[in-house]
Structure 1
């Protein structure tokens, strides 16, 4: 088995990738798996480990369809561990599912691995996760990308409210706070240091939930011991692009290339962070909403799983737009010159909305 000092670069070893989802996240997970397959190396083996809270056989079958045509990739399923269920019983997890806390148990849940990738289900791959898996951890137990809250703090000159909430938890340098939706985890080292008990002790130390659930717990437990990953492996900084003077502030930091990544769409992993998700009813008011739609829906339409669900969502979101556009097109024939121009403008606007769903928005 690979060791901490030898970062799993022996090509004969599988690349294990962990997800934790409820049934409501199966469609986005299928799209994520499909994007993973598209950028995988056929000479490597990938083992997808999906922890769930009671998926039906039909749902598992659909997820298997997402990796069809890629025999070097396999899917395995595990249910929510009893230890976690008992620890979270009668506990308010806030806006997060209890399954998100499975990351705290990864070392014990997968004893067959010395190293593991954890990925959230709201991501799109544009690079091979085997490259991420092979990252040199330099003796650190986990690797992750700093969170957009850290970038926001750099841009504004003051701590983001969430980082201020961690005062007194041991997070003495809050700008090191990481987004744990993408992690490389050295499970062997975590077992050696009995990190599972440390993580659960932090969980139980607070009667109410942490603002960002298990992500806060991981940051508290591993503060100062997280290997920083390149920003392109968890790109989620589009919120901060318009801060005045941002480029000067981030020069010399790992965020320096954020603007170029956005302009060139050159990220290796795009993380759809935030409350808005492109498989939910769209809100076209913000640039990042339109970006999410234009990236996610083209991948979703090509995903060989959950066709009925995806077609239904696509029609639900786009049919009203098409109906309005056709109505304006028909009325052009009987419009006065002034009204004609207004309707042409509206038609072009609706065409741009449809282009967002079809992936041609710029």
Structure 2
């Protein structure tokens, strides 16, 4: 079962620990990990090799030349690395029938057997998890002029891709074309996530929230926060600017990340201190 990540250098630490968390929670499963990145030094190589050895698993690293992607829209929180998911889908087009794409700020705390066993219906290009509720879906459907989104708008940090259908429908190419269209760019706020929602409307299967339980550590700054992570949760997705590898992100919900970190070659790495003014604000 193939699991892929698309990251820049700021997410290598998170990605290594995310892989460790999947392996910790899923011993005995035949898994292979694929890391698409534009930066990888000898220290990263040593750690990822040690991780593969520690868990007797396969990790393949692909170095990406990003020049062509840099012309696409980006924001403070979303760099061009967000577009690596298109490269991933295209890379596997003739190699396998499904790939699980995960953001690197996801920690695993449960079995993924259900995903391994999932059978797609014939028109389903991907399995995804909703973001927000009806009110948010309705807003997105209006902003993106796509009425079908009222029945669900998904978060693109978790996508189980049905490769043959994704390829047949030319999703990656269509998405990149849309991201170059000034009219589309004017409408979108969530870059490729918005575009994928438009392209996959009525063609994606919505699976249980336990597979992408989204929680921002910045919510912890509020008094009345409800933690959505429970015993059933499989993937905890640390959305928002503060990540569990940040020194100021040590909240109870970060435990799933920190536990995997302590069972990985990153166990002795210090958590990262704030570097930007944006981060200092939350720290």
TM-score tier, shorter chain, comes to 0.7 to 0.9
More helix by share: 1
Q: Specify the alignment match of 1:271 in structure 2.
A: 237
Deviation at residue 63 of structure 1 after TM alignment:
1.7
Q: Secondary structure at the match of 2:166?
A: helix
1:81 & 1:138 partners in 2: Cα distance? 35
Q: Secondary structure at the match of 2:259?
A: helix
Distance 1:35 1:188, change over 3 A: same
Q: Specify the alignment match of 2:144 in structure 1.
A: 167
TM-score (norm 1): 0.65
Is it true that 1:121 corresponds to 2:107 in the alignment?
no
Counterpart pick for 1:313 among 254, 260, 271: 271
| 1:146 and 1:179 in contact (8 A); partners too | yes
Is it true that 1:38 corresponds to 2:24 in the alignment?
yes
Deviation at residue 74 of structure 1 after TM alignment:
0.2
Deviation at residue 161 of structure 1 after TM alignment:
9.3
Distance 1:146 1:159, change over 3 A: closer
The higher relative CO (CA closer than 8 Å, separation ≥ 6) is in: 2
Deviation at residue 237 of structure 1 after TM alignment:
5.6
Query: How big is the alpha-carbon RMSD for the aligned residues of Structure 1 and Structure 2?
Result: 3.0
Q: Specify the alignment match of 1:142 in structure 2.
A: 126
Q: Secondary structure at the match of 1:272?
A: strand
TM-score (norm 2): 0.81
| Structure 1 spans left out of the alignment, 5+ residues | 1-14, 245-257, 284-288, 318-362
Aligned residue pairs: how many? 263
Distance 1:22 1:107, change over 3 A: closer
Distance 1:266 1:48, change over 3 A: same
Distance 1:304 1:172, change over 3 A: closer
Deviation at residue 268 of structure 1 after TM alignment:
1.1
Deviation at residue 164 of structure 1 after TM alignment:
6.2
More strand by share: 2
Alpha-carbon displacement from aligned partner over 1:68-107 (angstroms, at most 9, x marks no partner): 3322x2011112256xx32x33444112121211212333
Q: Specify the alignment match of 1:292 in structure 2.
A: 253
Higher gyration radius (CA):
1
Q: Specify the alignment match of 1:25 in structure 2.
A: 11
1:58 & 1:298 partners in 2: Cα distance? 22
| Structure 2 spans left out of the alignment, 5+ residues | 275-283
Q: Secondary structure at the match of 1:67?
A: helix
Is it true that 1:206 corresponds to 2:182 in the alignment?
yes
Distance 1:19 1:159, change over 3 A: closer
1:193 & 1:27 partners in 2: Cα distance? 34
Q: Specify the alignment match of 1:65 in structure 2.
A: 50
